[in-house]
Chains A and B, each alone.
Chain A
Amino acid sequence: GAVVSQHPSRVICKSGTSVKIECRSLDFQATTMFWYRQFPKQSLMLMATSNEGSKATYEQGVEKDKFLINHASLTLSTLTVTSAHPEDSSFYICSASHRDYNEQFFGPGTRLTVL
């Protein structure tokens, strides 16, 4: 299957700082990228869907001003957690898909810990 990378894989930061997570599709052009959050022992929760060159569509309850998503190219999407707080500590996973493929390809995830 296609390869999706995420960077960083793990980040520990102080409360109030902003953290940027990158998601890259390495061998295909991703027309759509998804951002998920997963708390321990819970299911993946879709945060937002982004299409290249357009604004992200956020799920209900997800603050768009706190979780900034940029999908500037067909191979890169970024999620910025602004003014992170301990309750934002979670496993953030991106996935990418192409309109011609009936499958999502997941990145390895980023584990965020806010102290």
Chain B
Amino acid sequence: RKEVEQDPGPFNVPEGATVAFNCTYSNSASQSFFWYRQDCRKEPKLLMSVYSSGNEDGRFTAQLNRASQYISLLIRDSKLSDSATYLCVVNMGGSYIPTFGRGTSLIVHP
């Protein structure tokens, strides 16, 4: 089993749709969780950290479920510019060596 797993997609949705991605992780001792966004042929950029209580940033909501060992990202009112690959990142243990999921591709069409 991979340490961090994501559905690669692609998720193909119309503008205005709500879309959700899940990411599961295998190490129950994981401490930090993030969602990154990567555009084609570009470097990943931090979208948001994921906190135990859940957190929201505009149209984006991230949640953490430690019992089931998954994190989620919800995007409301999708925009064309949201088209990208969304990477789940988990920090395993005390040393900061993050593990990336393979990413979920999102395509928002008119």
Instruction: List A residues at the B interface (Cβ < 8 Å).
Output: 1, 32, 34, 42-44, 46, 49, 91, 93, 97, 99, 102-104, 106-109, 111
Q: Which residues of B contact A1 (CB under 8 A)?
A: 46
| Number of B residues with CB within 8 Å of any CB on chain A | 19
B interface residue numbers (CB < 8 A to A)? 32, 34, 41-46, 49, 87, 91, 96-103
Name 18 extra pairs, CB < 8 A, besides A97-B96, A103-B46. A34-B97, A42-B102, A43-B102, A43-B103, A44-B100, A46-B99, A46-B100, A91-B41, A93-B44, A99-B96, A102-B49, A103-B34, A103-B49, A106-B44, A106-B45, A108-B42, A109-B42, A111-B41
Contacting residue for A44 out of B42, B44, B45, CB 8 A: B44
Partner of B43, one of A42, A99, A106: A106
Contact across chains for B45 and A43 when beta carbons are under 8 A apart: no
Chain B residues, Cβ within 8 Å of A102: 32, 49, 91, 96
Q: How far is the CB of B43 from chain A (nearest CB, A)?
A: 4
Which residues of chain A are within 8 angstroms of B102 by Cβ–Cβ distance? 42-43
